[in-house]
Amino acid sequence: KAGVTQTPRYLIKTRGQQVTLSCSPISGHRSVSWYQQTPGQGLQFLFEYFSETQRNKGNFPGRFSGRQFSNSRSEMNVSTLELGDSALYLCASSRAPGMGETQYFGPGTRLLVL
Amino acid sequence: GEDVEQSLFLSVREGDSSVINCTYTDSSSTYLYWYKQEPGAGLQLLTYIFSNMDMKQDQRLTVLLNKKDKHLSLRIADTQTGDSAIYFCAESGSGNTPLVFGKGTRLSVIA
């Protein structure tokens, strides 16, 4: 079974631009979560989607948004990029939300904002 | 809010055992996880333990949970150079999916 795939793997943008990242979950998984990883803050939860609905949202500004499609694929968008948005963005999928549903992570998209 | 603490670095000799420790604050944590991250890669799930268990063994990996002290450890037996990576402890509880991660422990294995 194929794992979680994320595209693109690397991205360079400039301040003020916007970016869209994509995540395809493991086949049969309907829940997708996004995390941001930076050297200073570590791994922080961004948001979680299930059945095309956002279930949870982390403490990030409104510039960060996401959505999920009917095939469970998810995208996240960051508008008006800032230097501090440079990070590894990780997507994780699970069969469903809730306790005990193990999350499997993709390889991440490394975003550099200049 | 919830917090997960780990020591940042651990260095061991090849063939020795490694023990990575983690403490957490959320008493309602139900599942506790260990993930491994190699350079330039995402997170690989190593193992997890349910809060009603004290120990779980999976080949070279042993997880010990002391729920009273909110302390979790990961023991890697016969550590190999391929085990060099960052190891993250994470907890999930209170009925919510979002994982709360520690800052990660960088394990260096010396040949």
Mean pLDDT of each 10-residue bin along chain A, 114 residues long: 92 98 96 94 94 93 97 97 97 83 92 98
> Contact B98/A48, CB-based, under 8 Å?
yes
Instruction: Identify residues of B whose CB sits under 8 angstroms from chain A CBs.
Output: 30-31, 33, 35, 41-45, 48, 50, 88, 90, 92-93, 95-104
As a whole number of Å, the end-to-end CA separation of chain B is 40
Q: Which residues have a Cβ under 8 Å from the Cβ of A86 and sit 6 or more positions away?
A: A38, A111, A112, A113
Lowest-pLDDT choice from B42-46, B48-52, B63-67, B101-105: B48-52
CB A107 within 8 A of CB B41: yes
| B53/B19: higher pLDDT | B19
Averaged pLDDT of chain B: 91
Residue B96 confidence (pLDDT) above 80: no
The Cα-based distances of A27 to A8, A73, A91 in angstroms read 19, 10, 14
Q: How far is CA B2 from the centre of its chain?
A: 16
3-class secondary structure, A106: coil
| pLDDT for B110 | 95
Chain B within 8 Å of A39 (Cβ-Cβ)?
no
